[in-house]
Amino acid sequence: MKLSESTSSTGCHACAYLRRIRPLPWVEECKGKQRECIVRDSCSHCRNDVSKAGFLIGIKLAFFKKLLVACSSDEPFSIIIVDPKTGVASWSYKGSELQGAAVGFVDSLGSGGDHLLVSVKNRPLIHAFAVHSRDRYHQKAVTSGVISAFCTNKDGSLLFAAIGAQVFIWLLSSGELLSVVDAHYQVVTNLSLSSDDSTLFTSSRDGSIHCYLVSDMISQCRGYIVEPFRKWKTHTLAVSCFSVSGGANARVASCGLDHVAAIFSVSLDDIILKVSVYEIFSQKNKLVVSADRPLTACQLDSAESRLFLGSDIGKVAQINLYAMETSSELLLQFSEERNERIPIFNGHSDKITTLSINGDGSLLASGDSSGKYCVWEIASKQCLKVSSMRSSISCLKFLPNWPSTIAGDNASVHPVFGLKQTVTGGEKITMLAYCGTNLHKNLWHEEMNIEIAEAIKEFKRFKSCDVRKKRMRKNAQSHRKIQELKKISIKDKIKEIDEIVEVSPVMQKGTGHQQNQEIIERQKQEIQKLKRINAELYNFMASELTGS
C-alpha cells in the first residue's frame, strides 16, 4: 500500500507512525522548569524509513475499507455499511426492532463488529443486536434517561453512557451498574475513550472538557467523589465536538459554538491551542485562530498533522498544523468562496454534524443535518461519492471488513444486556465466554476430538514408518541368510565333486579311462541340476519374503 500523496514536507503519516512506535512524538515536551515545544523536521530524520512505514501502515490500517452511516430517522434502513469509493451498501439494518422509534447514536460493541448498539432519540432506551444476518440476537434495555452519547471499550466488556450530566458505567458480562459519575454541570454531549482504554474524555454544554481515569471510575470504593484527571475550560459556549488522537501521549482537538478550536495535551496538562492563542512549535510563535462561523464538527487525522473543522453553513476547512510554524495569525473565513491560505471542502449546504477520516488519512467522510454525506479524497480535495439519507447524519465511522457482514457461519458471544438501574458494587464474579467456531456445538468435545484425531494420524504415520523399516530389515536379513545358504551348498557340492573326481589307486589299476570319463559327466550333470534347483529355491523364498 502506498503512502498518501497528501503528505508533504510539512508533515507525513510515515513520520508520525514511526515516531509513535519508537516513540518520537511530533512535539517533544521538555521536562525543564520552563516548558518548550520543539519542532522536529517532519521527514528528514526518518526519510530512509518511509518505505518501511508505508508497509507497516498498509498492514495495520489498510483494512478500514467500509463506512458506517446512520441517520436520525424512524424509517427502515436508517443504518447501513457502504463501500466509501463506490457507495454500494454491503449491509443494512431494517430497524423493525426499534418499533418506529428514531435512531439516536450508533456505535459498535467493541472492535470485533459482532454487535451494534443503537440509542433511541428522545427515549430512554438502548438496543443491542447482532450484525450477522443469521444471528437473530436482540435485546433492549431501559435507562434512567435519554442517552446523549455512549462508547465501549475494545473487548466490549464495559459500556459508558452519558445521561444528562452523569456518566453511567455498566459491566456487560453481567449487566451490573458499576458506577455513576457526576461528570459536568450541564448535559454531556460527547464521550470517547483513548486508544488504550485507560482514560475517558467527556465534553459538555458548559464548555468544559474532562479526562477521567477509567480505573478511578470503576473503583469499588464509594467513599469519595471521582475527580477528573485533567480538566480544561476553554470554550465559552457548548462544545460541539472533540477528537482524540492515538498513542500514549494523547491529544484532544475540540471545537465549539463560540467560533474557537483548541488542542489539548494530556501529558503536559496544558492547552496547546488556547482560545485564540496557538502555541505549537515555540514560545515565540503564537498563532491566533478564530472563525467567522460556529464550528460544529472536528476531526484530527491519525498522523496528528491535519485538523478538519466543519461549520454551520456546510463547509469543511483543513488546517495543516505543520505549516503554521512561521504564521502569526490565522482567520478561517467560511463565508468566502475562495480561501487561498486554508483549503476548503465545498459540498454541503447545511450544518456539518460529523466528520471521519480513514486509517491511512487519504479519505474524509462528512455528513450534514439534511442527511447528505460525502466521501472526499483529501489529496486532491475531490468528492468521490455523494449520497443522502432520510434525516440528519448522526454517525459516520470507517470500519474494517467485519466477518459478521459476510455471509457464512459466524459465532459470537452475546452480551448480557439486562442493564441494572442501581449500583451493585460488583457482588457477582463474572467471566467472559470463549468464542469458538460454533457455539451451538459441544465446543470443547469437538476441539478435543480434533486433537485426538491429529494425534492418531501422527501415531499411524510413525507406526507405518516403523513397520516399513522392520520389513526392510527382515528382508535384508533373509537375503543374507539365503546368500549364505547358497554359498554353503555350492561349496559342499564342489567338495563332493572333488572327492569323486579324485582317482583312487584301485581305479587307476582296475578301471579304464572311458569309465572315468562317464563318471565325470554324470557328476557334472548332477551339479547343473543342483544349481538349477538351488536357483528355483532362492527365487521362491525371495518372492515369499517380499510378498511380490
- pTM comes to 0.65
Q: For Cα atoms 464, 468, 472, give the angle at the middle one, nearest 5 degrees.
A: 170
Kindly state which CATH superfamily the domain 13-405 is placed in. Answer: YVTN repeat-like/Quinoprotein amine dehydrogenase (2.130.10.10)
pLDDT tens column, 84-125: 888 888 888 888 888 888 999 999 888 878 889 999 998 999
Listed by start position, the domains of the chain span 13-405, 468-546
Q: Pairing mode, if any, of strands 64-71 and 37-39?
A: unpaired
Task: Decide if 361 contacts 306 (C-beta within 8 A).
Answer: yes
Supply 444's cell numbers. 470443547
Task: Decide if 373 contacts 361 (C-beta within 8 A).
Answer: no
Q: Could you tell me what percent of the chain has a pLDDT over 90?
A: 24
Output the average pLDDT for the chain: 75
pLDDT tens column, 155-170: 888 999 999 999 999 9
Q: Taking 60 as the threshold, does the pLDDT of residue 14 lie above it?
A: no
pLDDT tens column, 417-436: 888 888 876 565 555 554 44
Q: Taking 60 as the threshold, does the pLDDT of residue 510 lie above it?
A: no
Of 407, 413, 367, 404, the closest CA to residue 388 belongs to: 367
Q: Taking 60 as the threshold, does the pLDDT of residue 21 lie above it?
A: no
Look at residue 275 in the predicted model and tell me its pLDDT.
39
Look at residue 97 in the predicted model and tell me its pLDDT.
82
Grid-cell match 501502515, residue found: 57
Residue-by-residue DSSP string for 176-225: EEEEEEE--SS-EEEEEE-TTSSEEEEEETTSEEEEEEHHHHT-S--SSP
Look at residue 377 in the predicted model and tell me its pLDDT.
92
Q: Taking 50 as the threshold, does the pLDDT of residue 286 lie above it?
A: no
